[in-house]
Chain A
């Protein structure tokens, strides 16, 4: 089954404790992206990757890191989480990063709470 998986689905952590949210897709997609979803703000892009070893900032990259060492994986790293990073996070992938019509496939989401 074609899918994007994220782990963990739920995470409660404390300020300053480093964490990683994993994302994996099995569709051989080139393009992957991380979004955060906050009430009243919709989805905002954090980072994206056009292909292996190619990543760039989205609209709200502060406080996050990413890496793309393999095509299928795109982990999101919070080196020192803060309460304002409490949010619902989505990973997405797409066949290509340059086509206008390629739909994005989304993972099920990770709900992060930072206390």
Chain B
């Protein structure tokens, strides 16, 4: 079956530091890949996505590149802010009969001033 593996958290960074959250996946075929973000007390919301190999998704200064050869979709941001403190979920959507989405376990990011 499909699976998504994320680096364990929590990750604590100082404001303006560089962020990388690793995500690797196992899937049959060619899935679409997503990063969702969950702010405290809220539901998940889509941060960015990529639908094919070498695509780069980007939003709010975050980026992730779909790497088929390494089955990875690492999330990066050049300069984090306190407001980026949240839980980040990597996910994939399979080319099955319906939109089956498999989520990673989530990585908690805390940014301190």
Contacts and interface: CB of A to CB of B under 8 A. Distances in A.
Interface of A: 4, 31, 33, 35, 40-45, 48, 50, 56, 90, 92, 94, 96-109
A42 B98 contact: no
A47 B21 CA distance: 29
Contact of A104 (B4, B46, B98, B105): B46
Interface in B19-70: 31-32, 34, 36, 41-46, 49, 51
Contact of B105 (A42, A100, A107, A109): A42
A106 B97 CA distance: 22
Interface residues of B, number: 25
A42 B99 contact: no
B93 interface: yes
Nearest to A90: B43
Nearest to B101: A104
A93 B105 CA distance: 20
Contacts of A105: 45
